[in-house]
Amino acid sequence: MSLTEETRAPAVLPDAEAFSLIDAGGAAVPEKQRRGYDLPDIDVLKELYRRMVIARRWDTQVTALTRQGRLSTYPSARGQEASEIGTVAAMQDTDWLFPTYRDSIAVWSRGVPTAELLSGFRGDWHCGWDPNEHRTAPQATPLATQTLHAVGFATAAKLKNDPIATVAFIGDGATSEGDAHEGFNFAGVWQAPTVFVIQNNQYAISVPIAKQTRARMLADRAVGYGIPGYHVDGNDAAAVYTIVSEALERARSGGGPTIIECLTYRMEPHTNSDDPSRYRDAEDVAAWKDKDPIDRLEKYLTAQDAIDDALREEIAKESEDAAAAMRDAMNAEPALDPMELFEHVYNAPRPALLEQRNALKAELDEISDGGRVN
């Protein structure tokens, strides 16, 4: 087998109009605008709804605790639930997710326990979970770097003939980094089973998308890599789920990578230490509130008689449980062992590092209360 082939991909411009299945008002998009796609099964939609509601509750709780100082920082994904959950709901258990700092709710929704997930933002360890157990890489902070990890991982799976795909989340701002290009390009050349989900939430901290690209849209980048590109309404979980599912299936069955731009909006500040009033108008935020991903799905499901009070209550309870578990996890003192700092740097033991470890040990032993320096 050879990773690359002589064949060149045809050049296809993505549709300018963002693909949508359920509009902002909660109505199904007319069939002739659906480009041949059906809405997902009602059970899938209910599940998306459930996961989004709980994720938002969880996210809200994390933001609240961050404001109270229990976490060092937290980048909220409020408003992006359809992109986050629509994507991970489309993944199989064996697929791998390569998330960013923004994507905690996606990671949480994949089953990583709160305390492990929030290690990094609380500050007890950089990554608290076992990536292999949850098939979820650490949340990447250096922007766009994770796209290449996702491509390498997927390529390895391809080389081993394992039907595994990877998903790399990336923000709109991060697409300007060289690594984003290299990620897209390597994926195209190696036909890696990777789905790139660009969450275009319109801002990179304070910088609006117009300062990141002159192109019509980020999905247009796909043309230059010979990769199929999609522009999707990122606040429509049905649309995100549909396009990501298709892309993942294509990837797993040898059809190569896909670039999907989800048009969405970051409702919260970049992180708790950001001040959006310096760079965007409250009206913009309000306008996007009308496109809320959860509201619209709720309206649709209500109109379909697919949710009743029992389900609402069940979800509300699950949400409160998630929030309570989150609070409990963050209110419990984290287990901190300064000696662990020296443990994972290398597999092969190093005498000089042991000396440094022992010096810290001696220092701490000297301190009367046994384990705390000033």
Partner 1 sequence: MAKTTETAADPGVTQPAKAAKPLTMAAALNTAMRDALTEDSNVVIFGEDVGPLGGVFRITDGLTRDFGEDRVWDSPLAESGIIGTAIGMAMYGLRPIVEMQFDAFSYPAFEQIVSHVAKMRNRTRGRVSLPIVIRIPTSGGIGGVEHHSDSSEAYWTHTPGLTVVTPSNPADAYSMLREAIASDDPVIFLEPKSHYWMKEGTPQSGPALPMNKAAVVREGTDVTLLSYGPTVAVALKTAKLAEDEDLSVEVIDLRSLSPFDDETVGASVRKTSRAAVIHEAAQFGGYGAEVAARVTEREFYHLAAPILRITGADIPFPAPLLEKHYLPTPERILNALSTWEWEV
Ligand X SMILES: Cc1ncc(C[n+]2csc(CCOP(=O)(O)OP(=O)(O)O)c2C)c(N)n1
Whether 279 sits among the annotated catalytic residues: the reply is yes
Name the residue nearer to partner 1 (CB basis): 101 or 241: 101
> Which of Mg ion, a copy of itself, ligand X, none is residue 174 near (CB under 5 to 8 Å by kind)?
ligand X
Number of chain residues interacting with partner 1 (CB under 8 A)? 86
Partner interacting with residue 213 (select from ligand X, partner 1, Mg ion, none; CB below 5-8 Å by kind): partner 1
Write out the two tokens for 269: 């500040």
Report the nearest approach of ligand X to the CB of residue 204 (Å).
3
> Any contact of residue 212 with partner 1 (CB under 8 A)?
yes
Beta carbons of 244 and 234 less than 8 angstroms apart: no
Contact, 292 vs 79, CB < 8 A?
A: yes
Q: Which member of 79, 86, 173, 269 binds ligand X (CB under 6 A)?
A: 173
Encoded amino acid at 345, one letter = V
Strand ranges, E, within the chain? 96-98, 166-171, 194-200, 203-204, 207-208, 229-233, 258-263
181 part of the active site: no
229, β-bridge pairs: 259
For the segment 109-148, give every residue that binds partner 1 (CB under 8 A): 119-128, 130-132, 137-138, 141-143, 145, 147-148
Cα 131 off chain centre by: 15
Neighbours of 267 (CB within 10 A): 18
Task: Take residue 11 and report the two structure tokens written for it.
Answer: 């050049």
- Among 227, 251, 267, 315, indicate the residue that binds a copy of itself (CB under 8 A): 227
Task: Pick between residue 189 and residue 353 the one whose CB is nearest to a copy of itself.
Answer: 189
The question of whether 126 is a catalytic residue gets the answer no
For the four alpha carbons of 9, 144, 139 and 172, in that order, the dihedral sign comes to: negative
Residues that are catalytic: 266, 270, 279
Q: Which residues lie near a copy of itself (CB under 8 A)?
A: 4-6, 8-11, 13, 16, 176-182, 185, 188-189, 191, 210-217, 220-227, 256
